[in-house]
Amino acid sequence: MNSLESYLFISSMLFCLGLFGVITRRNAIAVLMGVELILNAANINFVAFSKFNGMNLDGHIFALLVIVLAAAEAAVALAIIINIYNNMNTVNIDDVSELKR
């Protein structure tokens, strides 16, 4: 029934949607949501390959590490975004271009 390809199909769709969010959104928090979608897609791939490789648990370890990294990344990114908002009163990533001037 559920073949490896169906999981890879779903995760590639999630990945493409996340990438689409990252490149089209202009609110920094919405970009962060796109990154979370991409990380979820990668996690589905890890766990799917782990199951279809004879229930090898190494993929589960990688998925766990990715979840921890996502949590750390979300915390630091939101701290940075809140700092940007306090300093510049916007979270639009096109307006935050102080370093280019």
Partner 1 sequence: MADIVFWIISALTVMSAAFVVLNNQLVYSAVALLFTLFGTAGLYVFLWADFIAGIQILVYVGGILVLVIFGIMLTNKIKSVRISHKSMQQGVGGVVIFWFFIFLFLALTKAPWAVTEAIEPVGTVRGIGILLLTDYLLPFEIISVLLLGALIGAAVLSRGDS
Per CB under 8 A, the list member of 2, 97, 100, 101 interacting with partner 1 is: 2
Of 57, 41, 54, 33, give the one whose Cα is nearest residue 7.
41
What are the structure tokens assigned to 71, written together?
Answer: 């949590």
Measure the CA–CA gap between 45 and 72, rounded to whole angstroms: 21
Looking at beta carbons only, is 88 or 99 nearer to partner 1? 88
Residue numbers 29-88 binding partner 1 by CB under 8 A = 29-30, 32-34, 36-37, 40, 43-44, 47-48, 50-55, 57-58, 60-61, 63-65, 67-76, 78-83, 85-86
Beta carbon nearer to partner 1, 26 or 98 = 26
